[in-house]
């Protein structure tokens, strides 16, 4: 049987989180009353002219530098023409043959392996508005709030080979734009979305097969599932000896399948030409260096620092670097107490658990990194037990208080005093002669019984190490 | 006609300062004049009587408190080409597709004029979206020339030109893409300026061909023109293509040079412009104009602009291309005309645009769409842009090596009869042959009257200067008109 290989390219659209639109003064917030973020330019009124928001270029350069692109020195905006009700000017201002960034790449990790995926280009463009259907029997509405919101379109080379790789690429892209603070990465609201181009070819051949485009995938899961479905569908078509139709398809999550949206046999002619209303943007070295100086430590760099410097395993590295806030949190906590594994563990289990439960983001975390560092320090210095620490943590999460103050106020300090613990052990042993006999007859699990009794008497505050040590000595010595 | 309507803008200014008459009286006189002659001339699409009287009243208040310190144009009537967007006043561009469209904002040039206290009397008729050279391509009927109402006033800003020439307004604004200010100024015997590309904001001037469009003034004499031009010129943050070049005091510069003659000035005459199709009396009027310059002490030099012959073809590729794009927004979805019945989205677009665009507009949209389509872009649009650079370089070389200003006729012919050229678009396009090269080069050019033809119709002289040297044009034009004054007959012989 013929083996096929998937050839996948992604076009990721990311909304840039500037306060105002790419060519107009209106705001860009999501979720506002329809048509309230409008002005003559956004509405495409006669006589209105676009003026470039330079911050948008800053953001695109930032992304280009973070994805190893070369930055285009002489940029040009072009008009892309098509008629659609959500497109007020009858054209979209985009970039055509002079995109702001070109020839970059990302390193994508899948199943412990790293692959390089090329980035063909990143270009700037304006978003369209939104057609609203179904609110009225015979009328559709248009909301132009989103029209003119700045977008970057990031086009990958067709170098992705599996749904998992596509998902990983997309995740990494989201991670980068969030680290750079240029896009909120909110896929549900459509701030980050992607189109996937998929074709199959016989393994070992170079020639590309006919491609199919799947539009508007707005979750990692959809990206992976849609591509997986499409690979299966195309394989079946080819195995039946049929040909793939070049077309645009839509992912239907309900039916877990893609369906044809329109055939691409007659390629649309967008009649691109340079927008005469906008001057070419010349990006000089100073501009690039000014932006480079603002670049944060990128996820890949943080990952490697945690992995090599902190000897954390991949699992922790990934969790801790997924969000910039988490990595920063971890770094700050480490400044207070340098126990990498323990802090990584606390953050990724207890802290993530509670944040998830309360539906909070890392940036809204009520426990400061300093306080978490202190908590782990208290454990390591035997001031509290690991078990008590969980109680203290709960209190910290609810009140935002420091672990020291909680421990002091509630008397939760660990009892490590050998005399005190020795006395309690003596009491327990005196009261349980039969259990001692059982232990001495070889029932070693009675040890747990004694520890339990001791903990009960100390409300869990006895230092388990000291308890174990003294208990063994006393049981054997007697 | 009320004698107030025959005054120059400067005289009106003086009259207002001397309280000989009020701004309200001035506005009323012009509104009356419009009402009197608009039926014949069809120069206005909208008359803004109430707003004009309110603005005049406000101007009177300002004049009485600020007196000499009030802006020069305070209380002076102004007519606006209906291509200029005006808040709360219907703006049609002479098209059915924008009939009933009332913009929520005012464009920069108009806002600047209004800030001076100018009184907008109405919106003038024009070729639809600026596409035409006769002001016949209007959904609101053709404009007629006050010199001879059987004739066209030129276009596309024919309404503004006719208004100024006939005493409906002392001043007007138009737009010029390929000659739309210069040519109607020439055909109605008044002065008109196409500023350097980038000199006046295009914000709120409805786009026809963005890389050529400029807003510019009409007046009956150069000092008046300089006053209005100074008010609208200058960088605008809302137009990325406007230029942050200092705006000189044009009026002062004109006044300063009014008596000094033109000694030392080199006037270039491009032989390529004295084309075969030139009407003989246009040619002779032009040649005698050169004598006027010599009399004023200027030197006439031959210059060559070798790519001139390609300019018209280049223009008719670039301009329709941009127009096809700029007019894409008129789709019946958000404003303006929408077809009464459409079953599909595609039909909505096709019927709306099919019903509401005029023939010439459709022709240019089709030409423009064609030259921008995949596979043809390089051969037409890209090539045209390259030729455009050659045309601009011709001017640059002439100004660098040979002359200070260039003089040419404005139009190969004088005002023709209504309907005379409507059947042949190509012949109509040829009427632009002498004005479009300047538009492609983005240079400033002034149109001044330089004589009459055998049928007593005005002939225009075009003066072209390097970029941002409008001052030179204005003072040269002023010297010329001082030496050889021109009688604006529709005004002087009009009933008192």
DSSP B408-440: EES-SS---BTTSSTT-HHHHHHTTTTTHHHHH
A277 and B240 within 8 Å at the Cβ level: the answer is yes
What pLDDT is stored for residue A264 in this prediction?
Answer: 60
Range in A203-217, B299-313, B401-415 with the lowest mean pLDDT = A203-217
CB-based contact (8 Å) between B98 and chain A? Answer: yes
Chain centroid to Cα B45, Å, comes to 17
Give the domain CATH number at B119: 3.90.1300.10
Strand, helix or coil for residue B6: helix
Q: What would the mean pLDDT of A157-174 be, rounded to a whole number? A: 95
Banded pLDDT at B303 (limits 50, 70, 90): very high
A273 and B325 within 8 Å at the Cβ level: the answer is yes
CB B449 within 8 A of CB B412: no
Q: Say how many CB pairs under 8 Å bridge A and B.
A: 101
How far B457 CA sits from the closest chain A CA (Å)? 35
- Angle at the Cα of A192 from the Cα atoms of A190 and A193, rounded to 5 degrees: 80
Q: What would the mean pLDDT of B105-118 be, rounded to a whole number? A: 98
Q: CB-based contacts of B34: which residues, under 8 Å, 6+ apart?
A: B43, B44, B47, B121, B122, B163, B168, B169
pLDDT tens profile B324-367:
999 999 999 999 999 999 999 999 999 999 999 999 999 999 99
Q: How many CA atoms lie within 13 A of A418 on its CB side?
A: 4
The residues in B 24-43 lying below 8 A from A, measured between CB atoms, are: none
Q: Which residue of A has its CA nearest to B332?
A: A85
The phi and psi torsions of B481 (rounded to 5 degrees) equal: -70, -20
CB-based contact (8 Å) between A40 and chain B? Answer: yes
Residue B94 in this model has a pLDDT that exceeds 60? yes
Q: CB-based contacts of B475: which residues, under 8 Å, 6+ apart?
A: B253, B254, B256, B257, B258
Q: How many CA atoms lie within 13 A of B14 on its CB side?
A: 7
Q: Which residue of B has its CA nearest to A272?
A: B372
What pLDDT is stored for residue B424 in this prediction?
Answer: 82
Instruction: Classify residue B305: in a domain, yes or no.
Output: no
**What domains appear along chain A, each with residue ranges and CATH number?**
4-290 (no CATH), 299-410 (no CATH), 418-477 (1.10.10.410)
**How far, in Å, CA of B320 to CA of A1, rounded?**
57
Instruction: Classify residue B43: in a domain, yes or no.
Output: yes
Q: What would the mean pLDDT of A160-173 be, rounded to a whole number? A: 95
- Angle at the Cα of B273 from the Cα atoms of B268 and B274, rounded to 5 degrees: 105
pLDDT tens profile A188-202:
888 999 999 999 999
Instruction: Classify residue B285: in a domain, yes or no.
Output: no
Of B107, B241, B328, the CB nearest to A279: B241
Cβ contacts of B204 on chain A, cutoff 8 Å = 47-48
The residues in B 150-209 lying below 8 A from A, measured between CB atoms, are: 202-207, 209
**How far, in Å, CA of B313 to CA of B384, rounded?**
8
Q: What would the mean pLDDT of B2-30 be, rounded to a whole number? A: 97
CB-based contact (8 Å) between A46 and chain B? Answer: yes
CB-based contact (8 Å) between A90 and chain B? Answer: yes
CB-based contact (8 Å) between B339 and chain A? Answer: no
pTM of the entire predicted model = 0.90
Instruction: Classify residue B286: in a domain, yes or no.
Output: no
Instruction: Classify residue B333: in a domain, yes or no.
Output: no
**How far, in Å, CA of A326 to CA of A259, rounded?**
39
Residues of B known to be catalytic:
81, 156, 180
pLDDT tens profile A415-450:
878 888 888 888 888 888 888 888 888 888 888 888
Range in A356-365, B42-51, B196-205 with the lowest mean pLDDT = A356-365
Banded pLDDT at A267 (limits 50, 70, 90): low
Cβ contacts of A91 on chain B, cutoff 8 Å = 325, 328
Of B205, B335, B369, the CB nearest to A47: B205
Share of chain A above pLDDT 90, in %: 63
**How far, in Å, CA of A172 to CA of B214, rounded?**
48
**How far, in Å, CA of B181 to CA of A349, rounded?**
75
What pLDDT is stored for residue B110 in this prediction?
Answer: 98
The residues in A 229-248 lying below 8 A from B, measured between CB atoms, are: none
What pLDDT is stored for residue B495 in this prediction?
Answer: 42
What pLDDT is stored for residue A2 in this prediction?
Answer: 80
* Widest pairwise Cα distance in chain A: 100
How far B373 CA sits from the closest chain A CA (Å)? 5
Q: CB-based contacts of A312: which residues, under 8 Å, 6+ apart?
A: A306, A320, A340, A341, A344
CB-based contact (8 Å) between A130 and chain B? Answer: no
Residue B496 in this model has a pLDDT that exceeds 70? no
What pLDDT is stored for residue A189 in this prediction?
Answer: 87
Share of chain B above pLDDT 90, in %: 93
B105 and A89 within 8 Å at the Cβ level: the answer is no
The count of domains in chain B is: 1
Q: Which residue has the higher pLDDT, A259 or B319?
A: B319
Instruction: Classify residue B25: in a domain, yes or no.
Output: yes
CB-based contact (8 Å) between B386 and chain A? Answer: no
Instruction: Classify residue B96: in a domain, yes or no.
Output: yes
Residue B480 belongs to domain spanning: 3-265+469-492
What pLDDT is stored for residue A381 in this prediction?
Answer: 86
Neighbours of B115 (CB within 10 A): 12
pLDDT tens profile B245-281:
999 999 999 998 877 889 999 999 999 998 778 999 9
Q: What would the mean pLDDT of A369-391 be, rounded to a whole number? A: 89
How far A128 CA sits from the closest chain B CA (Å)? 14
What value does the mean pLDDT of chain A take?
91
**How far, in Å, CA of B94 to CA of B131, rounded?**
10
How far B441 CA sits from the closest chain A CA (Å)? 14
Nearest to B270 by CA among B387, B185, B397: B397
**How far, in Å, CA of A430 to CA of A437, rounded?**
12
What value does the mean pLDDT of chain B take?
96
Instruction: Classify residue B331: in a domain, yes or no.
Output: no
Q: Where are the beta strands (DSSP E) in B66-130?
A: 77-81, 119-124
Cβ contacts of B329 on chain A, cutoff 8 Å = 44, 46, 88-90
B324 and A271 within 8 Å at the Cβ level: the answer is yes
Range in A357-366, B47-56, B459-468 with the lowest mean pLDDT = A357-366
With 0-12 / 13-18 / 19 or more C-beta atoms within 10 angstroms meaning exposed / middle / buried, residue B280 is exposed
């Amino acid at each position: 049987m013929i083996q096929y290989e998937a050839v996948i390219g992604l076009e990721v659209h990311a909304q840039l989180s500037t306060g105002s639109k790419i060519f107009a003064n209106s705001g860009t917030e999501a979720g506002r009353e329809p048509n309230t973020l409008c002005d003559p330019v956004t509405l495409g009124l006669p006589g209105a002219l676009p003026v470039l928001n330079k911050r948008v270029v800053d953001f695109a350069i930032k992304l280009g530098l973070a994805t190893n692109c070369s930055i285009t020195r002489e940029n040009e905006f072009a008009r892309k023409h098509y008629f659609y009700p959500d497109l007020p000017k009858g054209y979209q201002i985009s970039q055509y043959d002079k995109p702001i960034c070109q020839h970059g790449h990302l390193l994508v990790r899948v199943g412990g392996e790293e692959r390089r995926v090329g980035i063909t280009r990143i270009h700037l463009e304006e978003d369209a508005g939104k057609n609203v259907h179904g609110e009225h029997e015979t009328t559709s509405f248009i909301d132009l709030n989103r029209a003119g919101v700045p977008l970057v379109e990031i086009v990958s080379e067709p170098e992705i080979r599996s749904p998992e790789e596509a998902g990983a690429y997309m995740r990494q892209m989201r991670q980068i734009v969030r680290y750079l603070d240029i896009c909120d990465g909110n896929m549900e609201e459509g701030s980050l979305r992607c189109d996937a181009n998929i074709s199959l070819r016989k393994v070992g051949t170079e020639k590309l097969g006919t491609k199919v485009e799947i539009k508007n995938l707005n979750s990692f899961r959809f990206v992976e599932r849609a591509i997986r479905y499409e690979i299966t569908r195309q394989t079946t078509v080819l195995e039946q000896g049929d040909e793939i139709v070049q077309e645009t398809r839509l992912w239907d999550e309900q039916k877990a399948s893609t369906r044809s949206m329109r055939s691409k046999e007659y390629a649309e002619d967008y009649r691109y030409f340079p927008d005469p209303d906008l001057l070419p943007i010349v990006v000089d070295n100073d501009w690039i260096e000014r932006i480079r100086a603002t670049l944060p430590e990128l996820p890949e760099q943080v990952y490697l620092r945690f992995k090599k410097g902190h000897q954390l395993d991949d699992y922790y590295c990934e969790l801790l670097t997924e969000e910039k806030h988490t990595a920063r949190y971890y770094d700050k906590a480490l400044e207070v107490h340098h126990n990498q594994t323990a802090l990584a563990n606390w953050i990724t289990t207890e802290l993530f658990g509670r944040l998830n439960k309360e539906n909070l983001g890392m940036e809204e975390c009520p426990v400061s990194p300093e306080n978490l560092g202190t908590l782990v320090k208290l454990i390591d210095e035997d001031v509290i037990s690991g078990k008590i620490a969980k109680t203290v943590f709960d209190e910290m999460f609810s009140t935002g208080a420091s672990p020291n103050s909680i421990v002091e106020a509630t008397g939760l300090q660990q009892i490590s005093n050998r005399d005190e613990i020795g006395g309690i052990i003596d009491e327990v042993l005196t009261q349980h002669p039969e259990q001692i006999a059982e232990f001495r007859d070889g029932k070693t699990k009675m040890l747990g019984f004694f520890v339990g009794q001791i903990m009960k008497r100390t409300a869990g505050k006895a230092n388990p190490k000291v308890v174990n040590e003294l208990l063994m000595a006393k049981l054997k010595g007697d | 006609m009320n004698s107030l309507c025959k005054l120059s803008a400067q005289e009106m200014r003086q009259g207002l300062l001397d309280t000989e008459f009020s701004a309200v009286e001035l506005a009323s006189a012009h509104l009356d004049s419009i009402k009197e002659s608009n039926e014949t001339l069809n120069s206005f699409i909208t008359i803004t009587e109430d707003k004009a009287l309110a603005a005049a009243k406000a101007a009177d208040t300002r004049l009485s408190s600020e007196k000499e310190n009030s802006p020069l144009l305070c209380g002076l009537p102004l007519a606006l080409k209906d291509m200029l967007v005006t808040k709360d006043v219907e703006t049609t561009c002479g098209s059915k597709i924008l009939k009933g469209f009332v913009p929520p904002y005012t464009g920069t040039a108009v806002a600047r004029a209004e800030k001076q206290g100018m009184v907008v009397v109405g919106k003038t008729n024009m070729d639809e979206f600026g596409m035409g050279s006769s002001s016949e391509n209007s959904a609101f009927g053709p404009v007629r020339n006050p010199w001879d109402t059987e004739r066209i006033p030129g276009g596309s800003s024919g309404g503004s030109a006719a208004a100024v020439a006939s005493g409906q307004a002392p001043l007007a604004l138009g737009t010029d893409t390929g000659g739309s200010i210069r040519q109607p100024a020439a055909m109605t015997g008044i002065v008109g300026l196409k500023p350097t590309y980038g000199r006046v904001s295009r914000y709120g001037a409805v786009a026809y061909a963005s890389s050529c469009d400029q807003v510019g003034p009409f007046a009956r004499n150069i000092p008046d023109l300089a006053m209005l031009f100074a008010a609208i010129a200058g960088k605008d943050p809302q137009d990325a293509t406007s230029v942050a070049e200092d705006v000189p005091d044009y009026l002062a510069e004109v006044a300063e040079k009014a008596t000094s003659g033109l000694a030392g000035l080199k006037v270039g005459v491009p032989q390529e412009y004295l084309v075969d199709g030139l009407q003989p009396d246009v040619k002779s009027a032009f040649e005698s104009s050169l004598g006027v310059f010599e009399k004023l002490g200027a030197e006439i030099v031959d210059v060559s602009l070798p790519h001139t012959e390609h300019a018209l073809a280049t223009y008719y590729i670039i301009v329709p291309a941009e127009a096809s794009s700029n007019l894409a927004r008129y789709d019946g979805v958000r404003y303006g005309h929408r077809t009464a019945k459409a079953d599909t989205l595609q039909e909505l677009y096709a019927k709306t645009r099919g019903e509401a665009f005029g023939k010439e507009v459709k022709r240019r949209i089709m030409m423009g769409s064609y030259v921008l389509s995949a596979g043809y872009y390089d051969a037409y649009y890209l090539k045209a842009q390259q030729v455009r650079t050659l045309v601009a370089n011709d001017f640059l070389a002439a100004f660098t090596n040979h002359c200070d200003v260039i003089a040419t006729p404005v139009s190969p012919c004088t005002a023709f009869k209504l309907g005379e050229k409507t059947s042949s678009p190509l012949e109509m396009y040829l009427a632009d042959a002498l004005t479009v090269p300047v538009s492609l080069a983005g240079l400033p050019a002034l149109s001044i009257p330089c004589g009459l033809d055998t049928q007593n119709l005005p002939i225009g002289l075009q003066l072209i200067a390097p970029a941002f040297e409008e001052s030179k044009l204005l003072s040269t034009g002023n010297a010329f008109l001082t030496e050889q004054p021109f009688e604006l007959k529709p005004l002087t012989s009009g009933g008192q």
